[in-house]
Amino acid sequence: MTDQVKGGPQSRRAAMLCQNPRFALYLDQRRRLRHGLALADLPDGTHSEQDAIDFIRESCGVTSRAEIDHYATASVMLERIITDYQRWERQQRVAR
């Protein structure tokens, strides 16, 4: 039997974020900006929930979202991702 890491509040936050279609839209716009792509090159709706999961795991340096609660650096990175996403959401409201 293997010891499986159990997630806590941070992994639940990450899971909820990955299920949020607005976060996938944020990832679309973030990638366009970072790579100088046009909307036609990377349309809204390109990123899936799995893409969001992969982004969170890679950014936090973990192989499972459950590990985020067990590594301080991963938890800090998740907080940064959430903060950046929330800033983007506020900017979207102002732009309307």
pLDDT tens by residue, 11-32: 999 999 999 999 999 999 999 9
- Quote the pLDDT of residue 7: 84
pLDDT tens by residue, 38-87: 999 999 999 999 999 999 999 999 999 999 999 999 999 999 999 999 99
Give the separation between CA 23 and CA 63, rounded to whole angstroms: 20
Q: Is 14 exposed, middle or buried (0-12, 13-18, 19+ CB in 10 A)?
A: buried
- Quote the pLDDT of residue 1: 43
With cut-offs at 50, 70 and 90, classify the pLDDT of residue 95: confident
